[in-house]
Amino acid sequence: MKTPSADELRKIYPDSDGKPMADNTLQLEWIVLLKFGLEACYDEIQDVFVAADLLWYPVEGHPEINVAPDVMVAFGRPKGHRGSYIQFVEDNVAPQVVFEIISPGNRKKEMENKLAFYQKHGIQEYYTYDPQRNIFQIYVRFGEQLVKYADMREWVSPRLKVKFEWNEVTLNIFEPDGDPFLSYHELREFKKHSLGEFQKNWAYLAKEQRKLKELQLQTKWTQENIDEAKQKIASAEQKAEMAQQKAEVAEQKAEVAAQKFEIVEQKIELEKQKAFAAEQKIRNAAQKLLQAGLSITLIAEALSLSAEEVQKYTER
């Protein structure tokens, strides 16, 4: 069987059902919030397709069986633009998660029919939210049925890992990492705030960098002073070492001089002793000669002394 071309498929499975995307601006804001918030969650994952108000044809050959969820998520399908989601063209992968944003134009019977449609065609998680009346409803598949979870104030989607917090005022939605889904206005405000914080932090960083450069310069000066002081200390140590060496040499010379002086003193003492001994011999000789009856004059001639010296030696 020949595979239909893209143009042929569009004729069989139209891209539009002629209905508006939203009935009012509030509904549109929530559809846009969900669509772009979910795309942001899976921005880096290539096989997660998110769409808003896109016709889904779940049954091949039956274009009359279709629905355009306000937002749908199909895991296992590549990103990219599509005129519609024709399931048999998408490897027969049905969207797993759908959202419907309720508006005053939605009738009870219409919503019951959508629930039955999603239940029949394999949706795993189905969420509805009425922003005007702040009513949030959760349906999760168990077997063949989509089972309703009533009054869940906090809920984490099993498939999306997205967190819903429903309070008395509104519904808050958070990405798996904890960041909130933000509207375009909130994103602009966040951007302004972030830019202001960035500029403030940039100015602070520039100031700190200047301080760091000044500190580095001061450190450089300090290091130069330290190096200079080290050189002076090394020079002083060298001079001290040389002085110590000179002192040791001088001490050695002093010791040698002291030894020489001691030797000289010893020699002088020896000469004194010799002189004393010689004088004693002369004295003894003079006295013996005197006792022998020689005169002072004869003794002086015999001992080669003067009369006064003989007189001194012979005195008792």
| Residues 165, 172 contacting (CB under 8 angstroms) | yes
Tell whether pTM > 0.85: no
CB 32, CB 184: distance < 8 Å:
yes
pLDDT for 134 equals 96
Residue 214 has what pLDDT? 83
- pLDDT tens string 83-107: 999 999 999 999 999 999 999 888 9
For Cα atoms 22, 26, 30, give the angle at the middle one, nearest 5 degrees: 80
Q: How many Å apart are CA 223 and CA 53, to the nearest integer?
A: 70
For helices 307-314 and 184-291, angle between their N-to-C axes, nearest 10 degrees: 90
pLDDT of residue 19: 85
The continuous run of DSSP H or E covering 156 comes out as strand 154-156
Residue 229 has a pLDDT of 82
Cα dihedral angle (13, 16, 17, 20), rounded to 10 degrees? 160
Q: Given this model, what pLDDT does residue 257 score?
A: 61
Q: What are the structure tokens assigned to 178, written together?
A: 């904890």
Residue 176 CB neighbours (<10 A) = 13
**Partners of 71 in beta bridges:** 52, 99
Using CA atoms of 68, 72, 73, 78 in order, give the dihedral in degrees to the nearest 10. Answer: 40
Ranges of residues in the chain whose predicted pLDDT is under 70: 1-3, 195, 198, 254, 256-258, 260-261, 263-265, 267-268, 270-272, 274-275, 278, 316
* pLDDT score, position 1: 55
Contact 160, 41 (CB under 8 A): yes
> What span, in angstroms and rounded, lies between the C-alpha atoms of 213 and 206?
11
Total H helices, total E strands in the chain: 6, 11
